């Protein structure tokens, strides 16, 4: 299988993860013009599963180092397979709740509460499990990224002042989504041998196998979570699976593309975790909020005609993000 041999390449992979995790939502924005989120989400999940299969049968099965995908999944312990499956279930619940929080409270509340909490707790959880990297630089970087997310929230608040009221329900859902989001990565990593991808311990999985099992967990749990959401949506009237099958090829392809993009980021992040460590990999990946903000500012023009002072906040946000992510990179050197 393909294995990263140095820290620099691991960081490149983490940056690509950040780009992917911060960009996939553009497909949801494109599809939302004619397509309900609940229906889009099924295509998104299918895209994640599809990428995991492609990755496992290509990068996960080539070369002379490590175990090929088929050999690896046959020898994996049920406990480790179960851990990755649980990670998929947790991620799916978190992601759906996060989307609901955006619909109820808006991005200005959902992003800083959910993603900020997920970033802080996720780095702590993953660092406690595998202490790779300088803790002072690591947590200083996390602090700066959290400040950047808060500034982003303030900027959104100025833009949308008077447009919406923040509900307690939206804040609570954001908190639950953030807590769940902080734990999913640890469950995948627990099923892998992060210290030795070349000759992984017997019963442990390679990142390619772990990503596949994780994706299966997302897919299977979606029959429960998304079916509930289809029948009792957070926003709007109920829809149905009949409506899903009425969607055109291009509409379905948009959602699948979103899943492929997120899946690429997730796979590269876990491949990089062997060299960078799970805390740094996860922390850099969650810098996706910066990428999402860049899309919003420069492509979707979300801050067009915003009140005076908004541009200064956006500049400060980007500065804190860049410095914070830089500290995360240096923490592993």
Q: In this structure, is residue 198 part of a structural domain?
A: yes
CA 218 to centroid of chain Cα atoms = 13
Q: In this structure, is residue 60 part of a structural domain?
A: yes
Work out how many domains the chain is built from and give that number.
1
Listed in sequence order, the DSSP H helices in 61-115 are: 69-75, 78-105, 107-110
Task: Report the pLDDT value the prediction gives residue 264, as an integer from 0 to 100.
Answer: 97
Give the whole-angstrom CA distance, residue 315 versus residue 302.
Answer: 15
Residue 208: closest CA among 85, 328, 56: 56
3-class secondary structure, 157: helix
Task: Report the pLDDT value the prediction gives residue 221, as an integer from 0 to 100.
Answer: 98
Phi-psi map region of 247: left, alpha, beta (phi>0 left; psi -120 to 50 alpha): beta
Range of the domain at 68: 7-330
Task: Report the pLDDT value the prediction gives residue 297, as an integer from 0 to 100.
Answer: 82
Give the whole-angstrom CA distance, residue 281 versus residue 192.
Answer: 15
Query: Nearest 5°: phi and psi at 162?
Result: 85, -10
Low-confidence ranges of the chain (pLDDT < 70): 103, 105-109, 160-167
Q: How many Cα atoms are found within 13 Å in the side-chain-facing hemisphere of 196?
A: 6
Q: In this structure, is residue 301 part of a structural domain?
A: yes
Task: Report the pLDDT value the prediction gives residue 156, as an integer from 0 to 100.
Answer: 76
R_g of the chain computed on alpha carbons: 19
Q: In this structure, is residue 2 part of a structural domain?
A: no
Global pTM reads 0.91
Task: Report the pLDDT value the prediction gives residue 250, as an integer from 0 to 100.
Answer: 93
Q: In this structure, is residue 1 part of a structural domain?
A: no
294 is written with which tokens? 């860049």
Q: In this structure, is residue 264 part of a structural domain?
A: yes
Number of Cβ within 10 Å of residue 281's Cβ equals 31
Task: Identify whether the C-beta of residue 38 lies closer than 8 Å to the C-beta of residue 222.
Answer: no
Task: Identify whether the C-beta of residue 194 lies closer than 8 Å to the C-beta of residue 64.
Answer: no
């Amino acid at each position: 299988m393909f294995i990263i041999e140095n820290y620099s390449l691991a960081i490149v992979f983490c940056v690509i993860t950040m780009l992917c995790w911060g960009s996939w939502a553009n497909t949801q924005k494109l599809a939302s013009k004619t397509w309900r989120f609940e229906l889009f989400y099924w295509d998104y999940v299918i895209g994640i599963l599809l990428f995991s299969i492609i990755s496992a049968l290509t990068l996960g099965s080539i070369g002379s180092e490590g175990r090929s995908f088929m050999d690896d999944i046959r020898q994996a312990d049920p406990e480790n397979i179960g851990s990755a499956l649980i990670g998929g279930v947790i991620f799916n619940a978190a992601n759906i709740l996060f989307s609901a929080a955006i619909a109820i409270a808006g991005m200005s509340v959902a992003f800083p509460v959910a993603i900020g909490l997920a970033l802080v707790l996720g780095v702590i959880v993953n660092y406690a499990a595998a202490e790779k990297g300088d803790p002072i630089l690591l947590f200083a970087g996390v602090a700066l990224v959290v400040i950047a997310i808060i500034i982003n929230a303030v900027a959104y608040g100025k833009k949308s002042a008077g447009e919406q009221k923040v509900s307690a329900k939206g804040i609570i859902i954001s908190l639950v989504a953030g807590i769940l989001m902080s734990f999913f990565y640890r469950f995948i990593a627990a099923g892998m041998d992060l210290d030795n991808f070349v000759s992984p311990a017997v019963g442990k999985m390679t990142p390619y196998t772990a990503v596949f099992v994780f994706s299966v967990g997302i897919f299977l749990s979606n029959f429960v979570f998304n079916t509930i959401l289809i029948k009792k949506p957070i926003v709007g009237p109920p829809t149905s699976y009949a409506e899903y099958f009425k969607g055109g090829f291009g509409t379905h392809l948009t959602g699948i593309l979103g899943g492929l993009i997120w899946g690429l980021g997730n796979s590269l992040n876990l491949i990089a975790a062997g060299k960078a460590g799970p805390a740094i990999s996860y922390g850099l990946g969650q810098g996706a909020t910066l990428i999402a903000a860049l899309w919003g500012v420069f492509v979707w023009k979300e801050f067009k005609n915003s009140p005076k002072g908004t541009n200064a906040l956006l500049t400060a946000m980007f500065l804190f993000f860049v410095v914070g992510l830089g500290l995360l990179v240096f923490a592993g050197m």
